[in-house]
Homo-oligomer: A and B are copies of this chain.
């Protein structure tokens, strides 16, 4: 499990005074980049010809986040299949209330063939180490 903190600012909100739907996807992406910072070397993967590519996001908007809320984004590897894997991302308020949860399905695109690589060997290991650990 990996956690990232994000403070809700005035520019994150929309006309309803809630964090906007699209902005949450930036919060989720921010949390994924934070994992890459810490543990998954995207530049090395790129040199090896692989690109982390999101193919589906299934996101539930549970309760609105408001100005001054401090959000915690928890990310873990929920499933790793043959050619795709699923990150579960959970956005909570400090009091534990769920704001958003999402399943983010990704593949490791082979940049040469533009096909999803088989997640085995070193590739599978580095994903599991980075996101699970």
Contacts and interface: CB of A to CB of B under 8 A. Distances in A.
Assembly stoichiometry (copies): 4
A5 interface: no
Given A22-B22, A25-B25, A61 B54 contact: yes
A59 B56 contact: yes
Interface stretch (A13-21, A76-84, A87-95): A13-21
Interface residues of A, number: 31
B51 A55 contact: no
18 contacts: A7-B37, A10-B14, A10-B16, A10-B20, A10-B29, A10-B33, A11-B30, A13-B14, A14-B14, A16-B51, A22-B23, A22-B25, A56-B61, A57-B57, A57-B58, A57-B59, A57-B61, A58-B58
Interface of A: 7, 9-17, 20-23, 25-26, 29-30, 33, 37, 51, 53-61, 67
